[in-house]
Structure 1
Amino acid sequence: MKIYKFGGSSVKDATAIKRVSNIILSQDRCGVVVVSATKNTTNELETIAKSSSLSEENLTSKLISTLFDRHREIARDLELDIELSIFELETELRAISSSMKGDGEVSPSKMDSLYSFGERLSSLILSRYLQRVSTKNVILKDVREVLITNDHWNLAAPLIGETSSAIEKWGSLTENDLVITQGFIGSTTSGQTTTLGREGSDFSATLLGEVLHASEVTIWTDVAGVATCDPRIIDTAKFIENLSYKHAASLAHFGAKVLFERTLEPAIRKKFPVLVRSTLSPSEVGTSIHELPLESGPVGIALENNILTVVGEKLLSEDVDFPFNCLKSYEIERQTDEFISLKFSNEDTGNAVEVLHAWVLKSLHS
């Protein structure tokens, strides 16, 4: 069984949802789909929480109406009759919002409850559309039934043993079953809603991959894989077809935004591949992250603020000629055989990216 995860931009409107559905329908072995909230919904929910806590009732009501009307429009464009389900979610959200009135600041536990509505709305819409167009038995499941976490609000840690036991609530899934569920959210052992941290839906997918014994997990996003550097920063960036768990995790840790930092932990434990592919170019091979022999030299670059980190293997050895002499003024933040982090001024960062990325590409080609 394969698990697919789709991010917020992949389900942002009716056209995007149809595109995602076509990808799902083209894959016989896709058994579980994990979906994020539609684009910008999580930010909107944070704004609602803030206005609620400050007792700005008129503004709060207007913000909630705007959020739900946008999802109603997506449902109408897809010709779905789900007004009652959307109304029930809106009523529930308004009740939680009302309970925050006058708090002054947003309660982390209430914020997690509010956060859940983004994924619950997107998964509702996607599941109902797939029920209409798919020949499979499409089932909407609440991931909070099975993804059990501690109560570290806004950044909860999964409890693997409890999750492994709870997954039995979903029963045995057949090849004809297609489960649609939510990313990002979970629940405590007492049933309170939690979240895994912003962008945590990738982590949700691999956690489900672990407890459902998936053969692979595919993260569908708007880029065609993990690149040697962020393609938005440098246009010579190349997508990496095969990448080790270790190097992918390091790139995520140091600022590469394609993957949530903890995504690969379940995959490393259970040794299943994680693929990163593009919903906009589904025919592209993308990046396969799995166990690989580690070779000397650089693999890629991550940039966060003005700190540029080269990730690779044996970077401080005599076999690897790191181009320190080609760089302008910099500070060494930290260096090991696995990564070298350098800090540059604003005016020197662009040049440093070009120099180091050219060296990375040359090293990979050689």
Structure 2
Amino acid sequence: MIVMKFGGSSVANRGQIEKVLAIVRSARERAPVVVSSAHKGITDALVNAAKAAASGELDSEQIAPIERQRELLAELECPPDLLDPFFAELGDLLRGISLVKELSPRSLDYVSSFGERMSVRAIADFMTRNGLPARAHDVWELGFVTNSKFGRARPVEGWELGCREAFARLPADEVPIVTGFVGKNDAGEITTVGRNGSDLTASLLGGALAAEEVQIWTDTDGVMTADPSVVTGARNIPHMRFDEAAELAYFGSRVLHPSTLLPAMSSDIPVRVLNTNRPEHCGTVIETIAAPNPSATTSIAYKEGQSVLVLRTTRMFAQVGFLARVFEVLGRHRVDVDMISTSEVSISLTSANRPGLEAAAAELRADGEVELHHGRAILVVVGRHLPERPGLGVRILQGVAGAGVNVEMISYGMDSINFTMLINDADIGRAVAVLHEMLFEPSGPETKPGPTA
């Protein structure tokens, strides 16, 4: 068995879904389980409709996701009434939100779920009519029971047994087309695992079902040496270790959801990232023990929209437990820290949670002088051989400085596989371009072979 996840761009229209059909048909002997995202743009339209309903502006926004889905049904030549029950349910839900003028996390998950629930039914219908028997399934029908953390739900302990039993009952002659991104809690309330979470759904199912591998089908040739939208010369990385891919996913790589790799790592199931538009390409295989990579570096990633909190106080000096107090405040305001640097009298830390950081800053002013800065980006160079190359960090910083980019913070742990810098959002393009030229292009100083792992 293999689990094949197709993202929104892979199921965006009939042309793309025809490619998906051909890919799944070619894998039929491997017992594929297909996990699908919503059609491209539908989830954004649903979220906008929910927000508009909460503000009382219902009519025009409500129509957008329904009309786009109707257009896709017509493109696929599905029965025009295939999704009428969903359109009616969605309309009732948005009207209810507009009446109370309140959009709770639970209601937002409910609205957001319609994208995947509608797409799997349209895709299954299209595949069946084109010679590949398929059936749509909401993932909760297959044992995917979650907790009640709306917007970031995770499966409850022991869910895997129910999942395996549910899949064992499915007809062997049909391809399951399963909703990604969504779930249900024990109370029967719809939850989501977070935006772009269909990758995570696929990885969790792969682990539960002991799949041969999990395939993530997207619109790039696997994981790349940099964001192709920023660096036109970005190259494919054929083999990666889980720890390298996890660092890249967390620090902004657009290919994988940050949590995708955890279930695969714990089950030791390879994750293969492939291009729906070029299925013949080898893509990237991510596994525990990867093929040797002679380059010092693997890839460059960035994570924009960071805010920085700087706390300066002499009360830190030789004070046991001061940092514990700071992190207790951050924890209460749900601030997830990405970078941190400390001295005897100051702390600098970053987070993408601006509201939480602002709330924490108000409390921490009782302990010293606090500054907040916004519009920053984390820029990270990942490579399994970074600790083995003396002076590489210096050359990275020189390269960034040569591009006229100021580095405001640095983080590099002992034996770390990532070298992390904080820069201005506006400088991402220049910094990534110069680093890619230096580290990955033939004339760069770091492209010559080095020691293997």
TM score, norm. by length of structure 2: 0.75
- DSSP 3-state at the match of 1:217: strand
| Structure 1 residue 123: Cα displacement | 0.5
1:104 to 101, 104, 117: 101
* Corresponding letter in the other structure for 1:355: V
Separation in structure 1 between the aligned mates of residue 127 and residue 425 of structure 2, nearest angstrom: 48
Separation in structure 2 between the aligned mates of residue 107 and residue 138 of structure 1, nearest angstrom: 35
Gap change, CA 1:330 and 1:54, over 3 Å in 2: closer
Separation in structure 2 between the aligned mates of residue 246 and residue 175 of structure 1, nearest angstrom: 36
Contact persistence 1:4–1:30 (CA under 8 A)? no
- DSSP 3-state at the match of 1:298: coil
Separation in structure 1 between the aligned mates of residue 54 and residue 424 of structure 2, nearest angstrom: 40
* RMSD between superposed Cα atoms in Å: 2.2
| Structure 1 residue 185: Cα displacement | 0.2
| Structure 1 residue 331: Cα displacement | 2.7
Q: Is it true that 1:308 corresponds to 2:385 in the alignment?
A: no
Q: Which has the higher contact order (CA 8 A, sep 6+)?
A: 1
Separation in structure 2 between the aligned mates of residue 30 and residue 13 of structure 1, nearest angstrom: 25
Report the counterpart of residue 139 of structure 1 in structure 2: 135
Q: Please list, as runs of the form range in 1=range in 2, the aligned pairs for 1:1-366 lying within 5 A after superposition.
A: 1-28=1-28, 29-56=30-57, 60-83=58-81, 85-135=82-132, 137-145=133-141, 146-173=143-170, 176-292=173-289, 297-305=296-304, 306-313=377-384, 315-317=386-388, 319=390, 321-322=392-393, 323=395, 324-328=397-401, 329-336=406-413, 337-345=416-424, 349-361=428-440, 363=446, 365-366=448-449
Decide which moves more: 16-25 or 248-257. 16-25
Separation in structure 1 between the aligned mates of residue 438 and residue 171 of structure 2, nearest angstrom: 49
Separation in structure 2 between the aligned mates of residue 107 and residue 177 of structure 1, nearest angstrom: 37
| Structure 1 residue 352: Cα displacement | 3.0
Separation in structure 1 between the aligned mates of residue 381 and residue 16 of structure 2, nearest angstrom: 35
Separation in structure 1 between the aligned mates of residue 91 and residue 51 of structure 2, nearest angstrom: 14
Query: Residue by residue, what CA displacement relative to the aligned partner does 1:154-208 show, whole Å, maximum 9, x if unpaired?
Result: 1112224124324423334565331001110011122110000000010011111
Query: Residue by residue, what CA displacement relative to the aligned partner does 1:275-316 show, whole Å, maximum 9, x if unpaired?
Result: 111111111111111112587832111012332101123524
Report the counterpart of residue 318 of structure 2 in structure 1: none
| Structure 1 residue 6: Cα displacement | 0.8
Separation in structure 2 between the aligned mates of residue 347 and residue 162 of structure 1, nearest angstrom: 44
| Structure 1 residue 133: Cα displacement | 1.5
Decide which moves more: 208-217 or 73-82. 73-82
Gap change, CA 1:168 and 1:341, over 3 Å in 2: same
**Any runs of at least 4 consecutive aligned residues in structure 1 with deviations exceeding 6 A, and if so which?**
none
| Structure 1 residue 248: Cα displacement | 0.4
Separation in structure 1 between the aligned mates of residue 389 and residue 130 of structure 2, nearest angstrom: 59
Contact persistence 1:54–1:103 (CA under 8 A)? no
Separation in structure 2 between the aligned mates of residue 217 and residue 5 of structure 1, nearest angstrom: 8
Gap change, CA 1:326 and 1:67, over 3 Å in 2: closer
Q: Unaligned stretches of 5+ in structure 2?
A: 305-376
Gap change, CA 1:227 and 1:95, over 3 Å in 2: same
Task: Give the greater-gyration-radius structure (CA).
Answer: 2
Separation in structure 2 between the aligned mates of residue 150 and residue 89 of structure 1, nearest angstrom: 24
Q: Unaligned stretches of 5+ in structure 1?
A: none
| Structure 1 residue 12: Cα displacement | 1.4
Contact persistence 2:297–2:381 (CA under 8 A)? yes
Gap change, CA 1:325 and 1:76, over 3 Å in 2: closer
- Corresponding residue pairs, total: 361
TM score, norm. by length of structure 1: 0.91
Gap change, CA 1:346 and 1:194, over 3 Å in 2: closer
Gap change, CA 1:347 and 1:208, over 3 Å in 2: closer
Gap change, CA 1:220 and 1:320, over 3 Å in 2: farther
**How much identity, in percent, do the aligned residues show?**
33
| Structure 1 residue 347: Cα displacement | 6.7
- DSSP 3-state at the match of 2:43: helix
Contact persistence 2:230–2:433 (CA under 8 A)? no
